Chain A
Amino acid sequence: MDTLLKPTLYTPDGALLGGRCPCGHVFFPMQGHGCEVCGRHGADLKPMTLAGRGKLLSSTVVHLHADKARTAPFTVGKIALADGPVVRTLLVDTVQQIAPGTEMATALVPVGIGDDGTTILDLRFRPER
Chain B
Amino acid sequence: MARTLKDLRPVYVVGVGWHRYQNPSDTPYVTLGVTAIREALADARIAWPSVESAYVATALLGMASGRPMLRHLGATGIPLSHVENASASGSTAFRQACIEVAGGLVDVSLAVGVDKRNPVRRDNTGMDNLAEDAIAQFTHFSLLTNEYAYRHKVSFEDIARVAVKNHRNGARNRNAQRQQERSLDEVLGGKKVAGSLTALQCTPVGEGAAAAIVASEDGIKQLGIDPNRAIRVIGSTARSERVYAAGLGFDAVLTKETTAVALQEAQVSPQDLDIIELHDAFTVEELHYIENIGLCPEGQGVHLLKEGALDIGGRCAVNPSGGLIAMGHPIGPTGIGQIGEITLQLRGEAGTRQHPNARTGLAHMVGVGAVCYVHLLQRP
Residues of A within 8 A of B (CB): 6, 8-9, 25, 29, 31, 33, 36-37, 57-67, 69-70, 74, 76, 78, 80, 84-90, 99-100, 123
Contacts and interface: CB of A to CB of B under 8 A. Distances in A.
A89 B135 CA distance: 8
Interface string B182-212: 0000000001111100000000000000000
Contacts of A33: 125-127
Contact of A29 (B128, B192, B246, B247): B128
B266 to A, nearest CB: 31
B243 A61 contact: no
A99 B146 CA distance: 10
A9 B128 contact: yes
A86 B167 CA distance: 35
A123 B134 contact: no
Given A31-B127, A37-B243, A57 B136 contact: no
A62 to B, nearest CB: 5
A47 to B, nearest CB: 14
Interface residues of B, number: 29
Please name the 4 residue pairs, one residue from A and one from B, whose CB atoms are nearest each other, closest first: A89-B130, A60-B195, A60-B142, A58-B147
Contacts, number: 92
A70 B132 CA distance: 11
Contact of A88 (B126, B132, B150, B193): B132
Contacts of A69: 133
B136 A66 contact: yes
B134 A90 contact: yes
A58 to B, nearest CB: 4
B150 A74 contact: no
A67 B195 contact: no
Contact of A67 (B133, B146, B151): B133
Given A78-B143, A80-B246, A64 B194 contact: yes
Contact of A74 (B132, B134, B143, B243): B134
Contacts of B118: none
Nearest to A100: B150
Contacts of B127: 29, 31, 33
Contacts of A65: 134, 136
Contact of B133 (A29, A36, A57, A70): A70
11 contacts: A6-B128, A6-B130, A9-B130, A58-B146, A58-B147, A62-B139, A62-B193, A63-B193, A64-B192, A65-B134, A86-B247
A64 B191 contact: yes
A89 B134 CA distance: 8
A37 B244 CA distance: 10
Contacts of B106: none
A53 B114 CA distance: 46
A25 B243 contact: yes
B131 interface: yes
B80 interface: no
A65 to B, nearest CB: 7
Contacts of A58: 143-144, 146-147, 150
B237 to A, nearest CB: 22
Given A33-B125, A33-B126, 15 more contacts: A9-B128, A29-B129, A31-B127, A60-B143, A62-B193, A62-B195, A65-B136, A70-B134, A76-B194, A84-B246, A87-B130, A88-B130, A88-B131, A89-B134, A123-B130
